[in-house]
Amino acid sequence: MTDPFGTAALRDSVLTAWRDSPTRFREDANAEEDLRLGGYRDRLLVELAQNAADAAVLAGQSGTLRLTLVSTSDGPELRAANTGAPLDTPGVAALASLRASAKRTGHQVGRFGVGFAAVLAASDAPRVVSTSGGVAFSAARTRAAVADDPKTAPLLAERGDEVPVLRLVWPVADTEDPVPDGFVTEVRLPLLPAVDADAVLADLAGQAEDLLLALPGLTSVLVGDEVWSRTDLPDGIVRVDGPAGHSVWLTRRTTGTLAAGLAEGLGVEARERPEWSVSWAVPLTADGAPTHLPGNTDVLHAPTPTDERLSLPARLFATLPIESSRRRLLPGKATDAVLAEAAAGYVELVRALPAEHRPTLVPEPGFPMSEVDGVLRDAVLAGLADRPWLPAAPLPEDAGPEDAGPDAALSDDAGADHAGADDLPAAGAVVLDVPDAELTAALAELQPRLLAWWLAEPRYATALSALGVRRLRPIDVVAAVSGIRREPSWWATLYAALARVTEADPTAAEELSGLPVPLIDGRTVLGPRDVLLPADDLTDLLSDVDIIGLRIAHPDAVHPLLERLGARPADAVDLLAAPAIQEAVTASLADATAGGDPVDLADTVLTLVEAARVDPGELTWLGALALPDEHGEPRRADELLLPDAPLRPLLAADTIGPDSPLGVLSADFAQRWPADVLAAAGVLRTFVVLTADDPTGPDHDLADEADWWAWIEGDEQPPATLVGVRDLDLIDDDAWPAAIRLLAGEPVIRRAMADPRSYPAWWLARCANLAGRPPLDWRLASAERLAGLFDPVPAEIDLPAELLLVVGVRDRLVVDDAEDATDLLDRLGDADREVGVGLAMRVHAELVDAVVSGRLDPADVDPPERVRVISGQTIAAEDAVVLDRPWLVVAGEDRIVAAADGDEKLADLLNVSLASEVVTAEPEADGDELAWAELGAVRLACALLGIDVPAGSVAVHEQLHVGGHRVSWWVEEDLVHAEDTPEGLGRALAWTLRRWADRWLLAGVLTEPTAATILS
């Protein structure tokens, strides 16, 4: 048996060490057991591949690893063949040392060092066969060698026959199969009975792709009949072809050497090999987009898998200082330095992706999966914050078709470094809250560090948020565009983009309240509220108008968004409602008086009035518009008459002129405008009607309005609508018949005149002039019943009766208030008037009815000085009495005031005594007191009338005298006195029966007690 590597000397050295120091045996056994059960328990394929890759690197060629299962007489055997450098003596020494590696090249990962202990998980008799020779290890042979030596044999009992397999090495038998063609070395592992050969092979196949990525020296892996191969393409693209197809990975690899100070604290071998490498790999889809890592591979590879879990969406392979278990990193400066380089490499990996895919690799928010993960995440986020990689929004002059969206960044070469000069770091970058290309283009030159529009898409929100990229809310957009000057069309484009924002986010409208709006006069105002959006036909008219406070949007900037934000469509009606227009009209007279030209504003306002079809009196504030009068002087429109106004000849001469209440509009100006337009602006053509809903007081500038309010204040409620007529007090006294016809010709005024409580009806009845007197002083000629109280309207007042009535001319008695009562009492007490007794009594009755009904409060009426008595004469009120008992008429017709009823109410109203309070006379004789039933005529009369004969008695007199006067009947306390006549007995019986109204009937029946008397 040939021994090309001098294994006998190695065995003797180890056995001597064990023999001389049993402790050394224990240490070797324990160390191997720790490696087998600990750090290398599941690293079989990794270590086999790592050795294969290192052999390839050492030989300067591409490496291939082939894994096969071979059936032998002793059972299945796993064989791992590789290309590259063959096994050499230092390599054998390393295999048998457990503590030292033969690798000295900086880019070798390991090379027959402690990692070879991973084979013990599958075999206790591994062999390494190379073209240079082979070596074998065997638990059984080691056990036998230990047992043969008396000094070491007792050690077996201590460990239950367990021995360190990889400390004693033998040459392979000369009959060992040679290495397969094309390979230089093959590791042969007879599998332990407990090992499932098929499962081992399947596990090895599952790790093949990762190994090709982790080990640059390895370019192909064969597992059984399946082949995986690695192809390095330009720009860091790695293609791995396998049995199921191929995968494409984007990689970024960097290498370097640790500074001397950073290697302190590492072992000698690590200090002698300070080179480091970092490689990132992320799988790509067919269109170059990163995809999820296959399998449960979220661990750090150093460069083979460790237990350091990572959350980054890419695989990291790095030569980092690790513990002997190869599962955890060794903390220290070297580790920190390499991790920092790894973070920088990750940023470059991100930058290498097409722009639309870069945010995919931003670490998602969450807790780190390990301490190393936390360090890497923080460093990666810091790098992404500092290094440019996010596409910036192109400035308008730089924009082109390629800026249409994220797909513009894609190319056929998915691995190219797409990061450009215009890219931005995440620190300080801002992105719109919604993806909108036009809005981004509009803001690109205004908002520093603005990102491309498509980065506002929801799929990028989490990544950008993790980087602290601020999202621009609509309120931020408002701030960015405030104070800038742009063409109106630019603003329209901005509004269109913002409209799409509000559609996506209904709350955005509230944040746009301060959005600038360019106006037609060249100004820019903040906030669309109260901005007017003019109709097209008004644009030219308004472009030259200088009205302070008028906010009219420039037509080129108008967009429906402005209306949503509070701007108002501005037809003529809307413009007339604008406060600025009203304020300009209000100030127009003062401006014109100060030297300004009122015509421009007047033409503008009248054009709006004409377009809006305003009716006269509809907008009363238009009356303040300054217009030129016939002398060329400015005056309020509502103080000017049309030159041919029907009202003009009816006005008193002193009411028209420069210093008079009214003037006449310039004839030239009047010819330029239709009369109805001028009238709508307040220019007088006829009487001006003022209306006011829910009026509260005399504040409408109407003649004697305060007196009217005082007159109606007794009403429970003021009028719901006030209809007033202006300038009634300016009518010439002789023109009133014509003025009344003109008033009645206006339907609104005519309806108001029909209401006696209205202002026009009240004023005309008291203040109009008909033949020198107000209408209330006259009666219709046909109202003969009022003769004596009122005079008929003179014949020269050529007005129809219906017009005379509506202006207050009388046709009947009316007592509605204290004014009516005072007027009637004055007329009754006027000795120069011939008032019939019947009319006087009707007046008194009407007065009493007004008091009883509540229309009249006696306290509101001053008692008259003279009253009219039933004789038809007038006497001093202090000498008169009101007849309150019918028998007291004896007081005398020359002093009695009478009414049909309500004697006490009348006495109170007139402040006159009742007759019963003045007359104290008594019958001069007692008479014969008889029961009513004793009087046959009385019994017969009651029977004919179907009434009961009254109880009690009556004092019958042949002649009844009271106070020197002969009377037909009298009442003295409870006893009725009557002359024995039908007239006396009839009155006494009617009073007793409380049927005073039937006194004439009873007297007739007593005269002739027959049915014919009743029927006739």
How crowded is the C-beta side of 316, counted as CA atoms within 13 Å?
32
The alpha helices in 644-746, defined as continuous H runs, are 667-672, 675-680, 705-712, 736-744
Query: CA-based Rg of the chain, rounded to a whole angstrom?
Result: 62
Would you state the pLDDT for residue 272? 62
Supply φ then ψ for residue 753, to 5 degrees. -65, -25
Would you state the pLDDT for residue 42? 64
The region that residue 285 occupies, defined by phi over 0 for left and psi between -120 and 50 for alpha, beta otherwise, is beta
CB atoms within 10 A of CB 938: 24
Please, are residues 66 and 201 in contact by the beta-carbon 8 Å criterion? no
Distance CA 958, CA 937 (A): 16
Distance CA 799, CA 1011 (A): 55
Tell whether the model's pLDDT for residue 200 goes beyond 60.
yes
Average pLDDT of the residues in 303-325? 83
Burial tier of 458 (Cβ tally within 10 Å: 0-12, 13-18, 19+): exposed
Would you state the pLDDT for residue 252? 92
Four-residue CA torsion sign, 47, 52, 56, 61 = negative
H/E stretch holding 39: none
Provide the pLDDT confidence category of residue 113 given band limits of 50, 70 and 90.
Answer: very low
Would you state the pLDDT for residue 334? 87
Average pLDDT of the residues in 516-531? 89
pLDDT in tens, 938-980: 999 999 989 999 999 999 999 999 988 899 999 998 899 999 9
pLDDT in tens, 1-26: 789 999 999 999 999 999 988 888 88
376-380, 503-507, 624-628: which has the minimum mean pLDDT? 503-507
Beta strands 470-472 and 430-432 are parallel
Q: Best-predicted range by mean pLDDT among 386-400, 564-578, 616-630? A: 616-630
Tell whether the model's pLDDT for residue 77 goes beyond 60.
yes
CB atoms within 10 A of CB 235: 14
Please, are residues 700 and 725 in contact by the beta-carbon 8 Å criterion? no
Please, are residues 585 and 601 in contact by the beta-carbon 8 Å criterion? yes
Supply φ then ψ for residue 219, to 5 degrees. -115, -15
Averaged confidence pLDDT in the chain: 87
SS (H, E, C) 609-661: HHHHCCCCCCCHHHHHCEEEECCCCEEEHHHEECCCCCCHHHECHHHECCCCC
* Exposure class string for 498-517: b at 16+ Cβ within 10 A, else e: bbbbbeeeeebbebbebbbb
Q: Which residue has the higher pLDDT, 295 or 1011?
A: 1011
Distance CA 464, CA 468 (A): 6
Tell whether the model's pLDDT for residue 407 goes beyond 60.
no
The region that residue 632 occupies, defined by phi over 0 for left and psi between -120 and 50 for alpha, beta otherwise, is left
Q: In 830-974, where do the E strands start and end?
A: 866-868, 874-876, 881-882, 896-897, 913-914, 928-931, 953-957, 960-962, 965-967, 969-972
Would you state the pLDDT for residue 107? 43
Average pLDDT of the residues in 505-526? 89
Average pLDDT of the residues in 79-101? 84
Tell whether the model's pLDDT for residue 872 goes beyond 80.
yes
Tell whether the model's pLDDT for residue 103 goes beyond 80.
no
Tell whether the model's pLDDT for residue 418 goes beyond 70.
no
Paired residues of 937 in beta bridges: none
* Residue 571 CA to its chain's centroid (Å): 26
Tell whether the model's pLDDT for residue 184 goes beyond 70.
yes
* Residue 772 CA to its chain's centroid (Å): 68
Would you state the pLDDT for residue 503? 86
Cβ neighbours of residue 180 closer than 8 Å, sequence gap 6 or more = 66, 81, 186
pLDDT in tens, 438-458: 888 888 888 889 999 999 999
Provide the pLDDT confidence category of residue 793 given band limits of 50, 70 and 90.
Answer: very high
Provide the pLDDT confidence category of residue 288 given band limits of 50, 70 and 90.
Answer: confident
Angle separating helix axes 982-992 and 999-1007, nearest 10 degrees: 140
pLDDT in tens, 819-836: 999 999 999 999 999 999
H/E stretch holding 30: helix 22-37
Provide the pLDDT confidence category of residue 105 given band limits of 50, 70 and 90.
Answer: very low
37-51, 107-121, 684-698: which has the minimum mean pLDDT? 107-121
For tokens 């249409």, the residue is: 404
- How big is the CA angle at 606 (ends 604 and 608), to the nearest 5 degrees? 70
Q: Best-predicted range by mean pLDDT among 80-89, 332-341, 393-402, 592-601? A: 80-89
Tell whether the model's pLDDT for residue 937 goes beyond 50.
yes
Q: In 58-119, where do the E strands start and end?
A: 63-72, 75-82
Q: Distance of CA 667 to CAs 460, 661, 785, Å?
A: 73, 19, 53
Please, are residues 733 and 769 in contact by the beta-carbon 8 Å criterion? yes
Q: Distance of CA 240 to CAs 213, 218, 221, 354, Å?
A: 9, 12, 10, 21
Cβ neighbours of residue 153 closer than 8 Å, sequence gap 6 or more = 146, 147
**Which of 929, 914, 912 is closest to 972 using CA atoms?**
929
Would you state the pLDDT for residue 442? 87
Q: Best-predicted range by mean pLDDT among 98-102, 500-504, 639-643? A: 639-643
Cβ neighbours of residue 99 closer than 8 Å, sequence gap 6 or more = 31, 114
Distance CA 291, CA 648 (A): 93
Which amino acid would we find at residue 921? A
pTM of the shown model:
0.60
Average pLDDT of the residues in 198-217? 87
Four-residue CA torsion sign, 958, 964, 965, 969 = negative
Provide the pLDDT confidence category of residue 399 given band limits of 50, 70 and 90.
Answer: very low
pLDDT in tens, 750-767: 999 999 889 999 999 999
Provide the pLDDT confidence category of residue 412 given band limits of 50, 70 and 90.
Answer: very low
Tell whether the model's pLDDT for residue 690 goes beyond 90.
no
Tell whether the model's pLDDT for residue 649 goes beyond 80.
yes
